[in-house]
Amino acid sequence: MNLKKISDYENKKVLVLGLARSGVSAARLLDKLGAIVTVNDFKNFDENPEAQLLLDEGIRVITGGHPVELLDEDFELIVKNPGILYSNPMLVAAVNKQIPIITEVELAYQISEADIIGITGTNGKTTTTTMIAEMLNYTRENNGKAYLAGNIGFPASSVAQEATSEDELVTELSSFQLLGIRTFRPKIAVITNIYSAHLDYHGSREEYVKAKWRIQENMTSEDILILNGNQAELRELAQNTKAHVVTFSTEEKTNGAYLLENTIFYGEEMILSIDEMAIVGMHNVENALAAVTAAKLRGVENEAICEVLRNFHGVEHRTQFVGSINERKFYNDSKATNILATKMALSGFENDRVILLAGGLDRGNDFDELLPAIYGLKGMVTFGETAEKLMLTAEEANVGEVLMTENAEVAVRLAYEMSSAGDVILLSPANASWDQYPNFEVRGEKFVQAVKQLAEEVGAE
């Protein structure tokens, strides 16, 4: 176990609120650090394997609700699951009692011997985080490792215990996690972009932006903040940070990585043509520019950067190249649970060669905003609760052929039948998955399975 020897938590009464992976990790770490830990999770004990495990390890567990009277026990700190709203009565009462509330990434920072590279933003976080880690690891042998951590699925407080001072924690950070930091200070921070999102959680766009901007609040002039220079809002925010600001841009030459005549440059160095990149779409070019900037600032050679970009086929469910069947390319973008994400995915292709698979949960919205992005598509197959709405939108957008079916798996065969050599078949639903699937990952996995099955039946290249 490699962690800074800190005594801050010895005999300190700490409440871990909400489990899942990050809560389990936080509870175990606090226990190791000598804290008196109580875990409180909403799910009943009988259906709560995480709570059962922690109880077996000797950690106190209270399940089946969040009883406010628990706070009468004089806790000195709450470590909350990022998904729990601050309007939760337990947290409202904690604020009134002036009990500090943090998230598990703050704990990770406090014990980490490794430098932290923190990545946040509305879109592209996971792709950018993964690219940076791959670039940092490409030519390494025995001199450290870049660990993926955070919102990407690896609790930062667990990973921080493995990493040494020779390593880096390449950490994806959500706005929910950033609301719970106090001393967290990355050596390099990246904000990929900012659009409106999670307004149900934050209450307003202003509060959402404030949460994202917290990534830099403890940074100094010795630290580097990488921002998307295409966005006026981020350029304006850059006036109010102590960090050294480096920008990337697809629109102009900057002090970071930038795009000029379809080629990525860093300073005066030509890195590679975007036509050589394995993943498509201008949003992925922006992600690549952010990653290149971070990698160059950590001393990664151009050759390693180029090899990663030539071979990086995307993260699962995010414009992920699945394979080709008789010269038709299949892409899984199941993570596109809103219109903006689908528009971004479509921007990487020529519409007259694309058959789009879209549909899902009906949140009551119309799809007028999608019209310009789908105009002139070769075809669309719609499914789920919004199938009919999307079909009407497709007809209005002059889409070549439109079919309606039950789900994403059946849509694969129908799309293949309306395609020809050179076409792209893209699952990018523009809707949440919950009408038919437990989450977008399961929807994507079902799509990938259907593509593999089709390949076996029709004979793939």
* pLDDT single digits (tens) 110-133: 999 999 999 999 889 999 999 999
**Rounded CA separation 444/225 (Å):** 33
DSSP string, 264-299: EEETTEEEEEGGG-SS-SHHHHHHHHHHHHHHHHTT
Task: Note the CATH number of domain 320-456.
Answer: 3.90.190.20
Query: Is residue 233 within 8 Å of 198, Cβ to Cβ?
Result: no
Q: What is the pLDDT of residues 239-297, one digit of tens each?
A: 999 999 999 999 999 999 999 999 999 999 999 999 999 988 888 999 999 999 999 99
- Per-residue pLDDT for 2 more than 70? no
Percentage of the chain modeled with pLDDT above 90: 85
Domains 13-102 and 105-311 in one fold: no
pLDDT at 1: 57
Spell out the domain ranges in the chain: 13-102, 105-311, 320-456
Q: Which residues are annotated as a binding site?
A: 121-127
Please, which pLDDT band fits residue 21 given cuts at 50, 70 and 90?
confident
| Torsions phi, psi for 349 (to 5 deg) | -130, 165
Residue type, 378: K
- Per-residue pLDDT for 460 more than 70? no
What is the dihedral sign for C-alpha 345, 350, 354, 360?
positive
Summarize the confidence of residues 29-35 as an average pLDDT: 96
Query: Is residue 14 within 8 Å of 75, Cβ to Cβ?
Result: yes
Global pTM? 0.82
| C-alpha dist (Å) from residue 270 to 4, 245, 273, 275, 302 | 40, 22, 8, 14, 9
**Rounded CA separation 214/82 (Å):** 15
Task: Give the strand pairing for 13-17 and 77-80.
Answer: parallel
Q: Which residues are annotated as a binding site for ATP?
A: 121-127
Going by C-alpha positions, the residue among 365, 401, 361 that lies closest to residue 381 is 401
**Rounded CA separation 151/326 (Å):** 37
**Rounded CA separation 138/161 (Å):** 23
Tokens of 240: 């109010």
Task: Give the strand pairing for 168-172 and 115-120.
Answer: parallel
HSE-up of 53 (CA within 13 Å, CB side)?
Answer: 11
Q: What is the pLDDT of residues 342-395, one digit of tens each?
A: 998 998 899 999 999 999 998 888 899 999 999 999 999 999 999 999 999 999
Tokens of 304: 């390693």
Q: What is the DSSP letter of 344?
A: H
What is the dihedral sign for C-alpha 439, 150, 308, 280?
positive
Task: Note the CATH number of domain 105-311.
Answer: 3.40.1190.10
Going by C-alpha positions, the residue among 68, 96, 79 that lies closest to residue 31 is 79
Task: List alpha helices for 179-230, DSSP H.
Answer: 199-202, 205-213
- Per-residue pLDDT for 205 more than 90? no
Task: Note the CATH number of domain 13-102.
Answer: 3.40.50.720
- Per-residue pLDDT for 402 more than 80? yes
Q: What is the pLDDT of residues 426-435, one digit of tens each?
A: 999 999 999 9
